[in-house]
Amino acid sequence: MKPPALLTLDVNGARHTVAADADTPLLYLLRNDLALNGPKFGCGLGECGACTVLLDGVPTRSCVTSARVAERHAITTLEGLGTRECPHPVQQAFIDEQAAQCGYCLNGMIMTAKALIDRCPDPTLDEIRRELSRNLCRCGTHIEIMRAVQRAAVLMREAKMRALPDATREAEVARLPVDLSVVVETSPSGARR
């Protein structure tokens, strides 16, 4: 048996050293060594998306990513987004839309949605559908999840606006007159909430 290597992982802005075989899946180190249980073990084969984390902002399946590869990147897990007291806008949107039954898929859905909105602040329904198409939800809450991602995009734009200086914010608000009523009107079911 190979002796463990000392691996350095940059997770949620903090450096961690763990002793493990460099081929160990990142997911195992996050959950078992660092007690970060946001990423879930689903299939273990890179198929379901439950274990998704961001490596340098890119959604990545941590069950099939070795520690050796992960060492070269900044890793963000669900715990790195927000807290129970102060959720990230994407997390807040999923709460607002009640976009879960068992919730097992939500880590992957939220991390993938966050990366999409960072890259594309106003995604279309098709873009959302395409981005999430490899994230499986066995409970079938797809309509609520789509709605949550639309809402998340609005909340993230609003959060960005609030962080701007007053004059810049006013100019941006005039340029992007989108509000949550748009999300309600374009909900896939057509139902008002």
Q: Is the dihedral of CA 71, 110, 134, 180 positive or negative?
A: negative
Which structure tokens are listed for 123? 């995604």
Task: Build a one-symbol-per-residue string for 108-147: x at contacts with ligand FES by CB under 6 A, - elsewhere.
Answer: -----------------------------xxx-x------
In sequence order, what are the residues at sequence separation of 6 or more whose Cβ sits closer than 8 angstroms to the Cβ of residue 48?
42, 105, 108, 135, 136
* Window 149 to 188, contacts with ligand FES (CB under 6 A): none
Q: Nearest approach, Cβ of 158 to ligand FES (angstroms)?
A: 26
Contact flag: residue 95 with ligand FES (CB under 6 A): no
Choosing from 29, 105, 115, 149, the residue that interacts with ligand FES (CB under 6 A) is 105
Task: Build a one-symbol-per-residue string for 44-83: x at contacts with ligand FES by CB under 6 A, - elsewhere.
Answer: x-xxxxxx---------x-x--------------------
> Which among 138, 143, 111, 110 is positioned nearest to 125, based on CA atoms?
143
| Alpha carbons 150 and 113: distance in angstroms, whole number | 9
